[in-house]
Every structure is written in C-alpha cells, then in structure tokens.
Amino acid sequence: MRTLLVPLHRAYRGLVWLANSPRMLIVSYGILILICGSLYPLFEDDVSFGDGVWWAVVTATTVGYGDISPASWEARLMAGLLISLMVLGVVPLITAHFASKLIVDQDAFRHDEQEELKNNLRRVRTLLEELAEREGVNVPDSAAPPPAPSGR
C-alpha cells in the first residue's frame, strides 16, 4: 500500500513545485500547447501546424471560437484531455500562485527571526529564574496555565 502512495506523493510535490514556479508554469503551458498543436494535424486532415497551435490555444483557454473543431475521435480525446488539464490543473495552479502572493503576511517573522526570538526568550527565562532564586521568589512553571484573572 505504501509503495502505491509514493508516485502520488511525488506527483503532488511536482504540482506544488510547479505552482510555486511561475516561469516553469508558463513553460509547461507553452510545451503543452506545442505538443497538442503538433499532434492535431496528425489526427485531422487539411490542418497546418499553425492551425493546430491556434486550435490548441483556443481549446486550452476554453474560448472555443468554433473555427476549427475536431472531427476524429483521437482529436476529440486530445481536446477533452487538454481542456481537463487546463481547467483542473493549470488554471488552478496559476490562481493559487497569485492568491498566495496576495495573501502573504509581510509582517510575518522569517525562520531566522523566529529562532532568534526563541533564543532570546530562553535567555530571559534563565535570567528571570536566576533573579527569582536570588530574591527568593517562586517563578511559575512555563508549562503551567496562567493564573485566572481576579474578579474585580
């Protein structure tokens, strides 16, 4: 069962990588258009490479002008796969990429800043415990819940 999940995990990681790399996303889109545009004339009669690429762009963007439409089952199958891949894969990846850029919290701490804060808090805790020991004051355990507020 675990070996079955490995390819799915790799595919997922590949999609995440693709979504985080707009350059590769655009290159992948271009390659997909060129491949489908090259295959289309093989499946359809009297279609040039240029018309095939035009058909691929119109189909991938789901505009569907209708000036070129597939007649053979191979071309129709390719059209269905191209549309599905674009609508269910590429467009959501593009949308997710731009949404993640819009949602990024500019005030969030970077990893190195978080580590520095944690180290500073550890030092403060150590100093507080040393000071409390010298003064004879009990310092509450950091794992203990804070005291309940008084009902004034």
Residues in CB range of 35: below 8 A, 6 or more apart: none
| pTM attached to this predicted model | 0.60
For residue 149, how many other CB atoms are within 10 A of its CB? 6
More confident residue, 84 or 7: 84
Range of lowest pLDDT (23-37, 52-66, 89-103, 122-136): 89-103
CB 94 within 8 A of CB 25: yes
pLDDT, tens only, 110-135: 888 889 999 999 999 999 888 888 88
Buried b (16+ CB within 10 A) or exposed e, 94-131: beebeeeeeeeeeeeeeeeeeeeeeeeeeeeeeeeeee
Range of lowest pLDDT (75-79, 131-135, 139-143): 139-143
As assigned by CATH, the class of the 2-101 domain is: mainly alpha
Amino acid identity for residue 146 in this structure: P
Is residue 149 pLDDT above 60, yes or no?
no
Is residue 152 pLDDT above 50, yes or no?
no
Is residue 105 pLDDT above 80, yes or no?
no
The average pLDDT across 86-91 equals 85
The average pLDDT across 12-26 equals 81
pLDDT at 40: 95
